[in-house]
Amino acid sequence: MHFDLNEEQVMIQSTVRDFAQKEVAPVARDASREERFPEDLARKAAELGLFGLNLPVEYGGGGADYVSYCVMLEELARVDLSIAVTISSHISLSGKTISKWGTDAQKQKFLPRLASGQMLGCLATTEPNVGSDVSSIETMATLQGDEWVLNGNKMWITNGGLAGVAVVIAQTDRSLGGKGLTAFLVERGMPGFSTKDIHNKLGCRASNTAELIFEDCRVPKENVLGPVGKGMSVALSAFDSARLGVASRTVGVAQACIDAAVSYAQTRKQFGKPIGSFQLIQELIADMTVETEAARLLVYRAATMKDGGDPATVQTSMAKYYASEIAWKAANNALQIHGSYGYTDDFPVERYLRDVRVSCILEGTSQVHKLIIGRHMTGLNAFA
């Protein structure tokens, strides 16, 4: 296994790096301050093909591989995690999931608009009473004639307030628990479906997060995604892809923290010398550098395995868990190196710190990923 980027991946890296510097950097701080989804920026990213980068070519996507997807997210997150969260959730949780599980008609209907960025997508498992334990989902779907009727609430859904289509995991046979779940494609405007934006998040304030509300929401039978009763499999396949997205975008934030810390340490002087000359500061930077490089290699390994057709579930958990934890630590180190200046939004490190914290929570908390890795190592299942 080698980790040199090929010509196409290098081209994607340099195109996205350029886009992030020219278009994302100027708006990132204000969008976070104002808690505003940057529509203009999203439109420009869509024009560049980022919303469909690794969706199938036959439906208007770029057909890129997982390594390219990770490279794109790292470059975006290196400037602003919010836009990376928007795009990676859109691709992994909705586009990729519909590509894998959708009927021809569903793919024809949704994928061209998702790939072009004309329509945003999301996936909803989490509920007010249901987080890590997806098998206990309470949102109920009942078949009435040719329609399923959904009732319940979903919480914390990325892109939820803007999405044209939501992949919603609901319970269709409560007696079966996790084996009774089914996935539905719920479209904006369907009767009984509404959303409510969630405000005052600690970070990623320029990405949309919403509650989804289903009150006798009528969904036609043809909008069932995958077989009835296979909702858990649909969700797990979406997680396999989305968790890699979290890992790669988190590496981007860690790299941004290194960039900011090095630059500040080279110019800030105390005791007559640049603070970067002090060994204790160099130790912080050395740790950040080694850990970020190790996380990037875990990401590339999992992405390369996925490109070879292996879901790489455990390797993805390792990448997601490790990258999230070291990025959070890198942000803390970078802020420490900035001293009091790091505590205001005159410098971006305070945004990196606030934004990256959620990476240890969403798409499986760090504890859940340790359980997945522990189950793999011991053969004993904490979730059973």
Ligand X SMILES: Cc1cc2nc3c(=O)[nH]c(=O)nc-3n(C[C@H](O)[C@H](O)[C@H](O)COP(=O)(O)OP(=O)(O)OC[C@H]3O[C@@H](n4cnc5c(N)ncnc54)[C@H](O)[C@@H]3O)c2cc1C
- 213 belongs to the binding site for ligand X (CB under 6 A): no
Q: From the CB of 133, what's the least distance to ligand X, in Å? A: 6
DSSP-assigned letters across all residues of 232-260: HHHHHHHHHHHHHHHHHHHHHHHHHHHHH
Among 171, 208, 209, 324, binds ligand X (CB under 6 A): 209
Among 132, 135, 136, 194, binds ligand X (CB under 6 A): 132
Which residue stretch of 23-31, 154-162, 262-270, 347-355 sits at the interface with ligand X (rule: CB under 6 A)? 154-162
* Nearer Cβ to ligand X (245/348): 245
* Nearer Cβ to ligand X (56/131): 131
Q: From the CB of 244, what's the least distance to ligand X, in Å? A: 15
* Nearer Cβ to ligand X (124/319): 124
Which residue stretch of 150-158, 244-252, 292-300, 345-353 sits at the interface with ligand X (rule: CB under 6 A)? 150-158
Among 54, 89, 94, 223, binds ligand X (CB under 6 A): 89
* Nearer Cβ to ligand X (320/338): 320
Name which of 330, 337, 333 is nearest 356 in CA terms: 330
User: How far is residue 364 CA from its own chain's centroid?
Assistant: 11
Among 204, 212, 238, 331, binds ligand X (CB under 6 A): 204
Evaluate whether 254 touches 298 at the Cβ level (below 8 Å): no
User: What is the spatial distance between Cα 108 and Cα 211, in angstroms, rounded to a whole number?
Assistant: 28
Among 88, 125, 313, 317, binds ligand X (CB under 6 A): 125
- 168 belongs to the binding site for ligand X (CB under 6 A): no
Which residue stretch of 153-161, 247-255, 303-311, 326-334 sits at the interface with ligand X (rule: CB under 6 A)? 153-161
Secondary-structure breakdown of the chain: helix, strand, coil percentages, each rounded to the nearest 5? 60, 15, 25
- 122 belongs to the binding site for ligand X (CB under 6 A): yes
- 158 belongs to the binding site for ligand X (CB under 6 A): yes
Evaluate whether 246 touches 363 at the Cβ level (below 8 Å): yes
Evaluate whether 210 touches 203 at the Cβ level (below 8 Å): no
- 178 belongs to the binding site for ligand X (CB under 6 A): no
How many residues comprise the chain? 384
DSSP-assigned letters across all residues of 347-358: STHHHHHHHHGG
Q: Which residue has the tokens 């009473």?
A: 129
* Nearer Cβ to ligand X (304/324): 324
8 is catalytic: no
**Per-residue buried b or exposed e for 142-174, using 16+ beta carbons within 10 Å of the residue's own CB:** eeeeeebbbbbbbbbbbbbbbbbbbbbbbbbee
* Nearer Cβ to ligand X (21/381): 381
User: What is the spatial distance between Cα 313 and Cα 325, in angstroms, rounded to a whole number?
Assistant: 18
Amino acid letter, residue 180 = G
Give, as ranges, the residues between 324 and 383 that touch ligand X (CB under 6 A): 358, 361-363, 365, 367-368, 382
- Catalytic center residues: 363
Binding site for ligand X (CB under 6 A): 89, 122-126, 131-132, 156-158, 201, 204, 209, 358, 361-363, 365, 367-368, 382
